[in-house]
Amino acid sequence: MRAFAALLLTLTMSVAAAGCAADADHRSPEEWLSMAYSGLAAMDQYHFTGAISMGMNEELMFKPQMFEGKVTRHKQLTIQSDEQDPVSWNPVDVLGKLNDANADVTIIHEGVTETESGAIKTLTIRVEEKSDVTTARWDSLLRQQFDDIAGVSGADTLIALNVSEKRDTILAQSKKELEEMLSRLHATSRYDIVIDKQRLLPIKMEELTSFEYERGGTPIKESRHTSVRFEKFEGSAEDSVQ
């Protein structure tokens, strides 16, 4: 009787374990996104490297801007770039906003990814951000950039170009062009996120943002591609959402 009871207990535990594995493999795309976000937010420290490129009408406009960043103590972010233009890219903020305001999340690939520490099982989700959220964010960013240029740094630039006497005229014309562009701006963002299935952490993110607007009555299309890889995770994800 005891042998039978032990066998029954073993079978019960095996079925339960199999059920947990099945649940892990059948998580919804939204659950994978939530766990990737909370898992990264729980890390004490990690590094990431990336590149940003801009294109117009399917042609590359400038050489890619390379950058690398480090997060310590969960929130202290430092970023270095190979160009003077600063890079503002916080991976936890990006994942958090996608988790809160996505239009669609789908699983597009499952497989094995080679990393510095060896081969790991991964899953790739594609997240479509709500277009009104994307458009509003870029409207705000472009207005802020214009205000920065129109400020002290912008005045110094115009003086250096010996056109300080035309500063107000130039800024007024630029402001008019910006308002025309923003009045017809439509932006969409798509993110492909590769997730380590065991650690529930993102190891790579690809962002593609498309812009449509008009300048002088001419329709224009621009795109921005950001590619980021994560590494050197330190800390614990015990507080992340499972």
32 membership: H or E segment, kind and range: helix 29-41
User: Which pairs from 116-123 meet CB under 8 Å and 24+ separation?
Assistant: 116/231, 120/196, 120/197, 120/198, 120/203, 121/196, 121/197, 121/198, 122/194, 122/195, 122/196, 122/197, 122/203, 123/32, 123/194, 123/195, 123/197
Check residue 185 and give its pLDDT: 96
Burial of 187 (0-12, 13-18, 19+ CB in 10 A): buried
pLDDT in tens, the chain (242 residues): 444 344 333 434 444 444 444 445 689 999 999 999 999 999 999 999 999 999 987 677 778 899 999 998 877 788 888 776 667 788 999 999 999 999 999 999 999 888 777 789 999 999 999 999 999 999 999 998 888 777 755 555 555 555 555 767 777 888 888 898 999 999 999 999 999 999 999 999 999 999 999 988 889 999 999 999 998 888 654 444 33
Check residue 147 and give its pLDDT: 84
pTM score of the predicted model: 0.79
Check residue 146 and give its pLDDT: 84
Write phi, then psi, for 174 (nearest 5 degrees): -65, -40
The Cα angle at residue 205 between residues 194 and 235, in degrees rounded to 5: 75
